[in-house]
Chain A
Amino acid sequence: MDGDKPVTNMTDVGKRPAARRGVFSRRLSGILEPYYYVSPAVVLIIAVMLMPLILGLSYAFRDIRILNPFSGGFVGLAHFQALMHDSAFLGALINTAWWTFGSLAFQFTLGLVLALLLNRQFAGRRLVQALVFLPWAVPTFLSGLNWAWMFNPVVGPLPHWLTSLGIMDTPFNILSDPDLAMWGPIIANIWFGIPFFAITLLAALQSIPGELYEAASIDGATTRQQFVSITIPFLAPTIAITLMLRTIWIANFADLIVVMTKGGPADSTQIVASYIFTQAFRRLDFGYASAIAAVLLVLLLAYALGVIALRRAMTHADS
């Protein structure tokens, strides 16, 4: 870099190497500079995410089965017509709603309680925080396997505890009972997801200015009044956006189900995302898998737009 430096004895301006270049090329490189910085990320995202997304949407209208070398032709809406009569898919739609809102309700409520508990100073708070956030770091495949083992009467304690409590007649594995199996992945998901809500809500709680509470308690507000008129309004925007993002994220989150039940028994835990994976991975039917994916994308988009429209209507009603 030293070779670039101009010889001494020059004016102040001459000391800047940039000044030696032409004004035009300097301005051009100034304009182009941001694009050099962002181009690696943009190229990568277009090549690995955007292109496959578009390609995948085109698969939805084609017959693409990896095991069949003669497949590849255009089939129009045939996949979507088949979907309308696919009882496994229709069941998966209901299961997705059940899985998403079952997980979300508990994750959010327990995460909020945990965040409120951690927002107060107490002895050992840092240690407690590290311990309760630990499940978030456990690899999802391991969380799934571990919870599957916990529910297994051979090595897991849960069925025996439930029997001692009189909830079960004999220790059995709820993952093999079609009526109860969904609770397995949901409980694993609650365990895994509480830290996320606790972390996000704790960050929001800590950004509330402490003076507000001081002023309120000087004015004689009770703890409950402070919670209702300071804490809740400050948290509301964070809660709204995290709930919306997490709904979409959980609806797409198939790992725990693939690991714990593979969608079974009898498709009773199959959600749309895990059904896509099953079609692509086990049947190698990429066309049909992509058609399901396209439907899921449209549903999630409709959900997101619906939530945004609802929020807009509510803020308009306020003002």
Chain B
Amino acid sequence: MSTPGKFPLRKTIYWGAHYLMIAAFVAFALFPLYWLLKVSVTPNDILYTEGVRMWPSRTTWDNYTFVLTQSHFPHYFMNSVIVSGCTALFTCIIAAITGYAFSRFRFNGKIIIVALMLITQMFPLVMLIAPIFRILAPLGLTDSLTGLIIVYTAFNVPFATFLMQSFFDGIPKDLEEAAMIDGNTRFEAFRRIILPLTLPGIAATLGFVFTAAWSELLFALMLVSSESASTFPVGLLSFVSKFGVDFGQMMAAGVLALIPACAFFLLIQRYLVQGLTAGAVKG
């Protein structure tokens, strides 16, 4: 694909421009996060006087100490870990068996089920906020982590199913057929032979779903009203509206919210190109 080296000058200019543009993209992607980090370690007394400096003359961990020991954020953080972790786990289990069925079986109604799942990806989820609230309230599932886990699991199952299906499609059918001839049922063959082979795919799906659940805001705002069931986004937004002047503490809390998402991002980074293609284009 590279141009033949006829014009070394043109080539130098090309690669110069190439790296310059890459640098611009990297700067645009990272600068807001860098700024978040910078304000979170800036002492309060020089926050305004050194407002536009690239790095403060003194740094402090006070904002982090406050957020970790004096605020509810550790509790919100745990709630979010529970909700996102359970959502990722349940979604993966359901998506794995459904994706396997989509990959291996032909059956009546399959098209209808696939269409149902595709439609759920298209309509505005925000229109479900009111009815879901009214359904969950009498069941005691509003203001509860269980309610959030159920709702998030349902929202993520369709995408995760198409993703898992694309991983199963890549595994030859002969493997479980051999295991079935040896006397295993199909489900045993699936569990013992096929699942272990798709572990990297399952890890990627876990990462996608965890990140999605960790970010979800609108349903959490609507369904949760008490401090004890608040997830991180709800907690951070209520902190912002109550203590809107304490930028250092808010940004320290923001950095904490970033950590699990970034950890999972590093885990799934390799699968991004494969995964999103499966979900967005093929699905």
A154's contact among B29, B48, B217, by CB below 8 Å, is which? B48
In whole angstroms, what is the CA distance A283 to B39 when docked? 35
Q: Choose among A141, A206, A297 the residue with the greatest number of B CB atoms under 10 Å from its CB.
A: A141
User: Do B26 and A128 touch across chains, with their CB atoms under 8 A apart?
Assistant: yes
Binary B-proximity of A122-152 (CB < 8 A = 1, otherwise 0): 1000001111111111111111011101100
In whole angstroms, what is the CA distance A160 to B201 when docked? 46
User: Do B18 and A5 touch across chains, with their CB atoms under 8 A apart?
Assistant: no
Given contacts A155-B247, A156-B35, A203-B274, contact A259 B217 (CB under 8 A): yes
Q: Which 7 residue pairs are nearest across A and B when measured between Cβ atoms? A: A293-B127, A48-B154, A137-B265, A37-B101, A286-B130, A52-B131, A139-B215
User: Do A191 and B32 touch across chains, with their CB atoms under 8 A apart?
Assistant: yes
Total cross-chain contacts (CB, 8 A): 281
CB-CB contacts below 8 Å: A13-35 with B: 15-18, 31, 33-35
In whole angstroms, what is the CA distance A134 to B276 when docked? 15
A35's contact among B107, B161, B262, by CB below 8 Å, is which? B107
Question: In the assembled complex, how far is the CB of residue A197 from the closest CB belonging to chain B, in whole angstroms?
Answer: 10
Size of chain B's interface in residues, with CB distance under 8 A?
95
Question: In the assembled complex, how far is the CB of residue A80 from the closest CB belonging to chain B, in whole angstroms?
Answer: 15
In whole angstroms, what is the CA distance A22 to B276 when docked? 45
User: Do A139 and B257 touch across chains, with their CB atoms under 8 A apart?
Assistant: yes
By a CB distance below 8 angstroms, the chain B residues around A297 are 123-124, 127
B13 at the interface (CB under 8 A from A): no
User: Do B277 and A200 touch across chains, with their CB atoms under 8 A apart?
Assistant: yes
Binary A-proximity of B92-115 (CB < 8 A = 1, otherwise 0): 001101101110010100100100
User: Do A160 and B52 touch across chains, with their CB atoms under 8 A apart?
Assistant: yes
User: Do A131 and B29 touch across chains, with their CB atoms under 8 A apart?
Assistant: yes
A277 at the interface (CB under 8 A from B): yes
Chain B contact residues: over half helix, strand or loop, or mixed? Answer: helix
By a CB distance below 8 angstroms, the chain A residues around B26 are 128, 131-132
User: Do B135 and A55 touch across chains, with their CB atoms under 8 A apart?
Assistant: yes
Closest to B207 in A: A137
B173 at the interface (CB under 8 A from A): no
User: Do B247 and A149 touch across chains, with their CB atoms under 8 A apart?
Assistant: yes
In whole angstroms, what is the CA distance A25 to B124 when docked? 44
Chain A contact residues: over half helix, strand or loop, or mixed? Answer: helix
By a CB distance below 8 angstroms, the chain B residues around A33 are 105, 186
By a CB distance below 8 angstroms, the chain B residues around A52 are 128, 131-132, 135
B205 at the interface (CB under 8 A from A): no
CB-CB contacts below 8 Å: B142-175 with A: 150-151, 153-155, 157-158, 161
In whole angstroms, what is the CA distance A245 to B277 when docked? 13
User: Do B154 and A45 touch across chains, with their CB atoms under 8 A apart?
Assistant: yes
A309 at the interface (CB under 8 A from B): no
User: Do A42 and B113 touch across chains, with their CB atoms under 8 A apart?
Assistant: yes
B124's contact among A64, A238, A293, by CB below 8 Å, is which? A293
By a CB distance below 8 angstroms, the chain B residues around A156 are 35
A242 at the interface (CB under 8 A from B): yes
By a CB distance below 8 angstroms, the chain A residues around B151 are 48
User: Do B29 and A132 touch across chains, with their CB atoms under 8 A apart?
Assistant: yes
By a CB distance below 8 angstroms, the chain A residues around B127 are 53, 56, 276, 289-290, 293-294, 296-297
Q: Which of A83-91, A175-183, A248-256, A310-318 contacts B (4 or more CB under 8 A)?
A: A248-256
Known: A33-B105, A35-B107. 4 other contacts (CB 8 A): A149-B251, A155-B47, A200-B276, A276-B127
In whole angstroms, what is the CA distance A161 to B26 when docked? 19
Closest to B150 in A: A48
By a CB distance below 8 angstroms, the chain A residues around B2 are 120
B130's contact among A41, A44, A150, A290, by CB below 8 Å, is which? A290
